[in-house]
Copies of this chain bind each other. A is one copy, B any other.
Amino acid sequence: MSMESLDQFRSEVRQWLADNCPVSQRTPAQPGEQYWGGRRAEFPNADAQLWFERMRDKGWTAPEWPAEYGGGGLDEAQAKILKDEMKAIAARPPLVSLGIWMLGPALLEYGNQQQKEKYLTAIVRGEHRWCQGYSEPGYGSDLAGVQCRAEDKGDHYLVNGSKIWTSRADVADWIFCLVRTNTDAIKQEGISFLLIDMETEGISTSLIELISGESEFCQTFFDNVKVPKENLVGEADKGWSVAKSLLKHERKLMSEMGTDIPSVDPRTIARDYVSYNAEGKIANSEIRRQLAEYDMYIQAVGLTHFRGFEERMHNIQGNSPLIMKYVGTEAERLKGEALLALMGSSALGWEGDEFSATEKQALRQWAMSKTLTIAGGTHEIQLNIIAKRILQLPQ
């Protein structure tokens, strides 16, 4: 699309957002205020519903997906404009969804026509809430070590085993799963990619409490669960390709962590928590340095996001996407430690009224940052990937 028509598109988007985004939806959503969709979902409030429905009707819950599946049909440049314009007025995402972020792109690549029609549309419309079934107890980083078994029973698979880190499996409608369909094959071979309705008999979940005090994750158990064969994505035993494609999207998502989620920013809260000297500098030079180093790092990460986008626009093949998960979560780690350093004893509150909501959030954010460098491929796995795929060091 030419620069001119992009400019035209930008003003249209800006106008539409000004007309359609309720004012209450123009502040960062607190965790409880996000709309995740699904059969059991309720809207946190009427404005959230209005905003969701308007965006859904434009196809802008999934701006880049084809219009035939309910998406917005935008190209990457247009999608970025929409994102930038939403960011400019701090508009909330109308729908938060693993289906949009992760499953959808994989289905677009590997799903058959029937699957695309059935699942993509439901995702865009917020009708299905999805969770992810990759890791297993004992096989955290070793995704190819899948033990969860799916036996071929003619018209269906019989699934037995368990998955861990299934985020909010307790409220999800569907789970996308890596299962082992062939035990003779080695590692990556013999794995299949299955879509499973969480209401199927034999599925149960239990919540895992994290050090941040949150319980976003579950362990999910499959006990003789029957899954129709039509729920297989791609070929049987060849699910690893689907899985890898999806992992790319997860990495991308993780690398953008913190850019959309409302969070306590050490740069903006500093003034309330540290003292300054006569020159206007933070008096504790170590805290000041820590803040500056975080600030400089996050700037570099932001610029690299932008460079990656520009390179794709210009069809330049760059390596930056492969580092984004590492540096994005590293930035969150630095942010968490900077918050604790800046806020001192104020950021050590776990509960109770003696600490403000911001203070308690800062602490939880710090604790959650410890999860980010592990989930979605640990720091170590990311470094392995860089060493192998980019640097091509001997294995």
Give Cα distance in the complex from A289 to B292, angstroms.
15
- Number of identical monomers bound together in the oligomeric complex: 2
CB distance from A354 to the nearest CB of B (A): 33
Grouping DSSP codes into helix (H, G, I), strand (E, B) and loop, the A interface class, with mixed when no group exceeds half, is helix
Mark A284-321 against chain B: 1 for CB-CB distance below 8 A, else 0.
01101100000000000000000000000000000000
Mark A255-293 against chain B: 1 for CB-CB distance below 8 A, else 0.
000000000000000000000000000000110110000
CB distance from A289 to the nearest CB of B (A): 7
Residues in chain B near residue A288, CB distance under 8 A: 285
Give Cα distance in the complex from A288 to B289, angstroms.
12
Residues in chain B near residue A286, CB distance under 8 A: 289
Give Cα distance in the complex from A285 to B293, angstroms.
14
- Shortest Cβ distance from A292 into B: residue: B286
Give Cα distance in the complex from A289 to B293, angstroms.
14
Give Cα distance in the complex from A286 to B285, angstroms.
8
Which chain A residues (203-230) contact chain B, with CB distance < 8 Å? none
- Shortest Cβ distance from A281 into B: residue: B285
Residues in chain B near residue A289, CB distance under 8 A: 285-286, 289
Of A285, A286, A288, most buried by chain B (CB within 10 Å of CB) is: A285
Which chain A residues (113-164) contact chain B, with CB distance < 8 Å? none
Give Cα distance in the complex from A355 to B11, angstroms.
63
Give Cα distance in the complex from A286 to B290, angstroms.
11
CB distance from A285 to the nearest CB of B (A): 4
Give Cα distance in the complex from A285 to B288, angstroms.
10
CB distance from A152 to the nearest CB of B (A): 38
- Shortest Cβ distance from A285 into B: residue: B285
Give Cα distance in the complex from A289 to B288, angstroms.
12
- Shortest Cβ distance from A284 into B: residue: B285
CB distance from A341 to the nearest CB of B (A): 14
CB distance from A296 to the nearest CB of B (A): 13
- Shortest Cβ distance from A288 into B: residue: B285
Give Cα distance in the complex from A289 to B289, angstroms.
10
Q: List 5 A-B contacts (CB under 8 A).
A: A285-B285, A285-B288, A285-B289, A286-B289, A289-B289
Closest 5 CB pairs of A and B: A285-B285, A286-B289, A285-B289, A289-B289, A285-B288
